[in-house]
Amino acid sequence: MRGGRRRRVLGLVAASVLVAVGVGGCGGDEDGSCPPLAIAFLGALTGADASTGEVVRNSAALAVEDHNTANPDCEVGLLSFDSRGEPARAEVLARQIIDDPQVVGVVGPVFSGEAEAVLPLFETAGLPVLTPSATNPELGEQGWQVFHRLVGTDADQGPAAVAWIVDVVGPERVAVVDDGSLYGGTLADLATDELIRRGVVVAPRQKVEPGVRDYGQAVESIAALDVDAVFFGGLGDAGAQLHGQLREGGVSGPFVAGDGTYTGSFLEVVGQSVDGGAAVAVTCPCVGAAATDAQRAVADRYREVFGAEPLAFAFEGYDAAAMLTAGIDDGAHSRAAMARWLGDATYEGITKTITFDDAGEVVGGPVFVSRIEGGAFVPIAQVVDGRVVPLG
């Protein structure tokens, strides 16, 4: 009787182990099955600052389409979540993304402010994130295991913008303006520190509020100081307004801004009055204009499919989505597996060979400086280790 009971217990234990192994096998990372999986895009698709988000989303859609064309029996979905660039809304959407069991990776968030809001949620859910465009350096300093960034940060971009200003303009006094956002404020701070370090006089910081169309007070203050250049940390819509009002206010020195203004809306407005020269310079840790065959191919398809120019972060957006689909193809079928895969992978993207350090920051990547010419952003220099290297 005792022996019979023991055999039954052992049988149950063995069955439990088999079931556990079986269940574990279903969720395994390296199996050859093709479960329905998706990646999510999170960023602004509507509102005044939707340009960058739309570019990233569209290029991610191209990458997913390329993957699905090559793998018709193992298609991956792209779910688009429109944050409008608002951190509070991004939090709501992040929860929806987390609740979807098919999502194994996120392309985005597009902006640093929303990234700061949602990354703790994604960290708790163990959902890997690849941002192609959020450049606040602090994002990589929080110890988030799910965080990965495909571009350099404002810590690279601010000093690079200053290097260009010092190298090309040689100013005595520079005005620094920000739009009050996390991104704009951080970038302006970094530029200010670098200007001071290089011995340039920095005028008292001016702030402009996106959505408020009259920046007269800031413009008057800057005009009164007779500055040689203006550095703006902020997004495209406010940047375009500020640029126009500065010119109307008699401030004629170069207007230098970060990647937040590398947008269609900024180009559309500012491009009407600027064509070439050094009047406007925009920095970006992104590739910007296509320079390789792979980038040109993607750019051509982008124009063909979406009828628009692939602006800043288009190629990084493509790489982010393509890398996630490559992970899926490599058997990363769960969030945990995807996080491990991203940590270990060396991926040949169209922008660069992508590997991440322990903080999730991409290894390498210069900052480009572009001007507006012929209604388009044209790269004119890249800044490497504080040195300005003219292109072409």
Partner 1 sequence: MSLDPRHWPLGRRIGVALVVAALVPMAVLAYFSLDAGREAVERAQLDSVEGSATEAAVAVREYLAGVSARADALGTRPDVVAFLDAGGSGDAPDLTDAASPDVAAVGVIDASGTTVAAAGGASAGTDVSGAGWFADAVAGRATVAPVSLDEASGTSTVTVAAPARNPGSGVQGVAAIEVRGLDVLAALNQVQLAAGGQAWLVDDAGVVVMARDSRVLGRTLDDLGLGPLQVAIDSAPLGTLTGVDLVDRGPQVAAFNEVQPGLSAVVLQPEAVFLGPVERLGTITWVLFAVVGVVAVGVAVLLARRLSRRVGVLTAAAARIEGDEPPDADALAVVGRSGDDVGRLARVFARMAEQVAVREQRLRDQVRSLTIEIDEERRRKAVSEVTDTDFFRDLQGRAAEMRRRARGEAPAGDAPMGDASGGDDS
User: Strands (DSSP E) along the chain, which ranges?
Assistant: 37-43, 76-82, 103-107, 129-131, 147-149, 173-178, 201-202, 206-207, 229-233, 255-257, 280-284, 347-348, 353-354, 367-373, 376-384, 387-390
The Cα–Cα gap between 1 and 220 comes to 97
Strand 103-107 and strand 129-131: pairing?
A: parallel
Number of neighbouring beta carbons within 10 Å of residue 116: 19
Residues 93, 108 contacting (CB under 8 angstroms):
no
What's the one-letter identity of residue 320?
Answer: A
Smaller CB separation from partner 1, 47 or 386: 47
Please state the closest distance from residue 88 (CB atom) to partner 1, in A: 14
Give least dist CB 48 to partner 1, A: 6
Q: Shortest gap between Cβ of 126 and partner 1 (angstroms)?
A: 16
- The residues, ordered by sequence, that sit 6+ positions from 145 with a Cβ below 8 Å of its Cβ are 123, 126, 339, 360
Q: Which two tokens stand for residue 5?
A: 């009971």
Write down the least CB distance from residue 60 to partner 1, Å: 10
Q: 318, 298, 291: which is closest to 377 by C-alpha?
A: 291
- Rank residues 73 and 344 by Cβ distance to partner 1 and give the closer one: 73
Measured from the CB atom, is 304 or 358 closer to partner 1?
Answer: 304
Question: Does residue 41 contact residue 60 with C-beta atoms inside 8 Å?
Answer: yes
Q: Which two tokens stand for residue 19?
A: 């079931």
The Cα-based distances of 162 to 169, 248, 323 in angstroms read: 10, 24, 33
- The nearest distance, CB 76 to partner 1, in angstroms, is 9
Nearer Cβ to partner 1 (101/250) = 101
In whole angstroms, the minimum distance from the beta carbon of 161 to partner 1 comes to 27
The neighbour count for residue 226, using CB atoms within 10 Å, is 13
CA distance 126 to 135: 22
Which is nearer to partner 1, 58 or 370 (by Cβ)? 58
* End-to-end CA separation in angstroms for the chain: 89
Q: Which is nearer to partner 1, 82 or 259 (CB)?
A: 82
Q: How far is the CB of 329 from partner 1 (least distance, A)?
A: 17
DSSP code of residue 261 = G
Given the complex with partner 1, which of 43 and 152 has the nearer CB atom? 43
For helices 182-197 and 154-164, the axis angle rounded to 10 degrees is 50
Q: How far is the CB of 98 from partner 1 (least distance, A)?
A: 9
Question: 36 or 143, CB closer to partner 1?
Answer: 36
For residue 269, the minimal CB distance to partner 1 (Å) is 11
Contact residues for partner 1 (CB under 8 A)? Answer: 36, 38, 45-48, 50, 54, 58, 61, 64, 75, 77-82, 84, 96, 99-102, 265, 305-307
Angle at 133 between CA 92 and CA 159, to 5 degrees: 130
Q: Which is nearer to partner 1, 265 or 382 (CB)?
A: 265
